[in-house]
Amino acid sequence: MAETTHLMQPPMRRAFLFVLCALAPAAAGQQPPSAAAPRFRFELLDGEQFEACLKGLSGDRLRLDLDGVERSVAADELLFVWGGAVDEPAPPASDLVVLPRRAGSTVPADVLWGRWLGGDDAHVHFLIDGDLALIIPFDHLDRLVPHVDRPLDRLLELQTNGIDDRLWRRRSDGGLDGVTGVLLRVDESQIVMESALGELAFARAEVLELALAATEHPGGDSSGWPVVVRLRGGSCFEAGLVAVQPDSLVLDMACARGLEVHASDVAALLLAPRPEQGGPLRLAELVPETVHEWTALGDDAQVLFPWRRGLSVSGSALSVGGRLATTGIGVHANARLGYRVPDGVSKLRVTVGLADEVLRLPAVASVRFEVLLDGVVRAATEVIREGQPPEVLRVEGLRAGQLLELVTTDAGDRDAGDRAAWVDGLLLP
């Protein structure tokens, strides 16, 4: 996928590195080092791009193979990783989602898409990409959702009462019943809770969601390089990158140590040094100070698709150009989100484009993106139409307290189907 970079300031020369995508096999005439070693696309923040295979991890340096030539990159130079294109970016509605809780993290909760296999009186057994089986302790679990059939962020709004677990059950009239109690055990077909009415068993088919009360034991910090991982099946979670092999990565999660993930299952990696180590801020984590959304009918018309953090405006997994994002903001033209620039930030880097789900809509989408700083346009795209690749926008010279605005417009041709996204956005020192 080609990307266009718009530089409103001279390019940065510090070699922050973006590791992009697990690609298709090498071009004709080029033989990869191993048939089992997928190629990745790497991009330097100053614009340099290259393709390579993973070779290994030595101390704080990642070793790469560039068609037979080894290149070593230090951990503090690495920043971003995107994975390759996926055939079906949004996980199917029949999938299950588990949200393990993490302590002291500034990123959203981990989301694991896969299959609930069963469990016992202390664990949930879950299967994700590459037939990776996880045994997740109840203490590491935020919620379990059998058969996701509505937007994920709406499901996350269903809460416990603070001290007890709560199971949300579907009613025949389409409503929900909340049952409060304590989770006793799970198996492949039911969830059993202790309630004020005694022990109750709920069949899997009737359960919309199980939300667990807060725990004081969510697991310790993971070892290795801190990364955010997006798998091709949609799972997105924080982990420590412990080891690298040509065909796999070894990751430490709070609920799973030494998890070996095949490189071909990785859609994206965000190399994310912790904030105390001078790591980047993710644009999607900022809370907007101002939000203005309007339709082609004017400001008074109802906005059917408000902006969403980490999801498209329809609540689906956020994917642009066939690539699942590790972080991002879903918007619909027309939208204007305003943020105050935090302390210690001087640069912005973000990918913009149409969400892949527009390809399934009858309307032909077209949008334009602008980045404004204190009301002045500092970076912008031309009109991006359906089928065109996303673009990368970069702005330098940010100062703390300035108003940073992300503007998405309908390109003057009405806003039908204009589902767009600002993804993989980072604020850098």
Residue 196, exposed/middle/buried by CB under 10 A (0-12, 13-18, 19+)?
A: exposed
In the predicted model, what is the mean pLDDT of residues 195-207?
A: 94
| Amino acid, res. 112 | L
- The SS3 assignment for 76 reads helix
Tens digit of each residue's pLDDT (9 = 90 or more) over 232-260: 888 888 888 999 988 899 999 878 889 99
Encode pLDDT of 268-325 as tens digits: 888 765 555 556 788 998 999 999 999 877 766 678 899 999 889 988 888 898 888 8
Confidence (pTM): 0.82
How far does Cα 241 stand from its chain's mean position?
A: 17
Domains, the chain, ordered by start:
5-81 (no CATH), 96-211 (no CATH), 282-428 (2.60.120.1060)
β-strands 39-44, 49-58: how paired? antiparallel
Q: Dihedral, CA atoms, 104, 285, 350, 65, nearest 10 degrees? A: 20
Neighbour order of strands in the sheet with 236-245 = 69-74, 61-66, 49-58, 39-44, 17-22, 78-81, 266-271, 225-231, 236-245, 248-253, 256-262
Do the beta carbons of residue 98 and residue 141 sit within 8 Å? yes
Phi, psi torsion values for 280, nearest 5 degrees:
-75, 160
User: What is the four-CA torsion angle of 90, 96, 100, 101, rounded to 10 degrees?
Assistant: 80
* Mean of the per-residue pLDDT values of the chain: 82
